[in-house]
Amino acid sequence: MMRKVVRSFDEWRDAARELVARRMAPEFVAWASSEEEGDLFSAAPAPPLATPSPAAPVLRLPRELMEMLASAACFSAVDRWAFLYKIIWRWQLGERDVVSAADQDGARLYAMVKAVRREEHDMHAYVRFRERKEEDGAPRFVAWFEPTHEVLPQVARHFARRMGNATWMIATPAAAVLWDGEHLHDAPSLLRSAADIEDAGEALWLTYYRSIFNPARLNADLLRSHIPSRFWKNLPEGAIVPAMISAAANGERRTGQTATVGRRDGATTIMVTAERAQPQRDEPDTLDQCRRCELWRNATQAVPGVGPKHARIMLVGEQPGDQEDLQGLPFVGPAGAVLDRALTAAGVVRDQVYLTNAVKHFKWELRGKRRLHKTPAQREISACHAWLEEELARVKPEVVVVLGATALKSVLNNGSATMSAVLDAPFEHEGRWVIAVYHPSYVLRAPDEESRQQAYEVIVAGLRRALTFIPAPARSG
């Protein structure tokens, strides 16, 4: 049994490269982290590594996998180094499914990466710097944070870009990082909690926070869901929010606005926009009643999605076409025929997927006697987004294949989303996998045969990849 002690991802990467070159299987390597040996930032040298033989295989990993391994290395787990070595060992043996979420090891790798990136996001959002009195050599701003995973170095680089040349320090229970205005420095943690930091301006902040708090509009459940409870104890306002919530529940909620309204001069004019002056109307209960935009006026009917009640895969297109508008079904026209061919080529059974569109009414313009497709505007996509959200919540698909830019913008609820950034590159969104491919109609509109074939192959590849996220019994069922 060979023992390897590593203190960082770079050391692990060098050691793993040497072990793979020596064809050392994971079960013959015992990994130890610096936490087991003592101080995380101790300067003890790493054990020397043997030089690989000239005939040893060269370890080559794609950049995407290396980025995932680097993120997963920050995950707090006793066996993280051993697990990451198992991943690259299987990859070197040709087991490419090790990076698939359908694989047991691949699923754990994705979960580790997701947890680490979430921790980075939370640290960006909930690190609060407190300004200290000017002292020679001391950082001007100091923050305390208790991360679940070892993301301090990445987060420190983020704040170094954001805060310019102002000096600061972020301390955690295990370590600290200092920024001198030009360079980052690792240091042992000198603090025990946020209470060790004095901030002369904190009282002013709490006064401001109380003044903007409106008990009449308080939603305590929403407040708790936006900020996880483990962050409250280190936020300055965390000490006063519970008392304000209790006061709101004990009567201030009812009187939070009426006191000032009652003192208004009778001659005072309260400006109200025309939109807010309209009477309240019930939201439509069914798609056929929808009048959120003007497309319904020129459409034959609304076209809902079709498919199994709980399909594992959902395909989202742009909008109904001429034939879909007449028949009331999605993907029954020329683009639907292309999609049928792609589904067959990918091994996906059409009756087992849910088919729908981002926009439910046909938008068209008249050319002679023909109704020609016209791309929906962002306001029409946004108006129809609620219906897609209802379908996603009801069907609960595990994978969503978006066909074209309009579908991508609707699924992400982001009008600036672009296909180029995510084309045929699966990513997670709100607990499900999203795969972006071309719309089948693009295959029909492409200028030449080569472009049409390339677009068609992207669609087929995306559909095949969607199957990899679904367990095998579910595909055949």
CA distances from residue 302 to 315, 321, 391, 400, 409 in whole angstroms, order as listed:
18, 11, 14, 22, 20
In a shared domain, residues 187 and 209? no
In a shared domain, residues 321 and 468? yes
Minimum mean pLDDT range among 45-59, 350-364, 391-405: 45-59
Q: Averaged over 416-421, what is the pLDDT?
A: 91
In a shared domain, residues 455 and 425? yes
Please return the burial class of 323, using the count of CB atoms within 10 Å of its CB with bins 0-12, 13-18 and 19+: middle
Q: Establish if 255 belongs to a structural domain.
A: no
What the block records as the tokens of 380 is 């029409």
Q: Establish if 282 belongs to a structural domain.
A: no
Report pLDDT for 136. 65
In a shared domain, residues 173 and 301? no
Q: Establish if 108 belongs to a structural domain.
A: yes
Minimum mean pLDDT range among 42-56, 346-360, 441-455, 458-472: 42-56
Q: What is the number of structural domains in the chain?
A: 4
Distance CA 385, CA 404 (A): 16
Band of pLDDT at residue 39, cut at 50, 70 and 90: very low
| Domain CATH code at residue 295 | 3.40.470.10
Q: Which of 164, 196, 228 is the last residue of a domain?
A: 196
Q: Which of 90, 121, 152 is the last residue of a domain?
A: 121
In a shared domain, residues 231 and 378? no
Report pLDDT for 191. 76
* Lookup result for tokens 């108006």: 383
Q: Averaged over 84-101, what is the pLDDT?
A: 92
Helix residue spans in 396-448 (DSSP H): 405-412, 440-445
Distance CA 444, CA 432 (A): 30
Report pLDDT for 475. 52
Residue-averaged pLDDT of the chain: 84
Report pLDDT for 207. 78
* Lookup result for tokens 């360079």: 183
Q: Establish if 262 belongs to a structural domain.
A: no
Per-residue pLDDT reduced to its tens digit, 179-215: 988 899 988 877 777 666 766 667 777 777 777 777 7
In a shared domain, residues 171 and 82? no
Q: Establish if 6 belongs to a structural domain.
A: yes
Closest of 178, 111, 194, 105 to residue 145, by C-alpha: 194
Distance CA 376, CA 361 (A): 10
In a shared domain, residues 145 and 95? no
Q: Long-range contacts of range 104-111, CB-CB < 8 Å, 24 or more positions apart?
A: 108/83, 109/68, 109/72, 109/83, 110/68, 110/428
Q: Establish if 258 belongs to a structural domain.
A: no
Minimum mean pLDDT range among 81-95, 96-110, 116-130, 406-420: 116-130
In a shared domain, residues 238 and 387? no
Band of pLDDT at residue 283, cut at 50, 70 and 90: low
In a shared domain, residues 27 and 79? yes
Q: Establish if 442 belongs to a structural domain.
A: yes
Its pTM stands at 0.46
What the block records as the tokens of 193 is 């909690």
Report pLDDT for 43. 37
Report pLDDT for 410. 95
In a shared domain, residues 94 and 146? no
Q: Establish if 278 belongs to a structural domain.
A: no
Q: Averaged over 74-95, what is the pLDDT?
A: 93
In a shared domain, residues 66 and 183? no
Domain that holds residue 432: 287-476
Q: Which of 121, 156, 186 is the last residue of a domain?
A: 121
Q: Is the pLDDT of residue 145 over 90?
A: no
Q: Is the pLDDT of residue 56 over 60?
A: no
Residues contacting 260, CB < 8 A, separation 6+: none
In a shared domain, residues 70 and 186? no
Residues contacting 308, CB < 8 A, separation 6+: 351, 352, 353, 354, 395
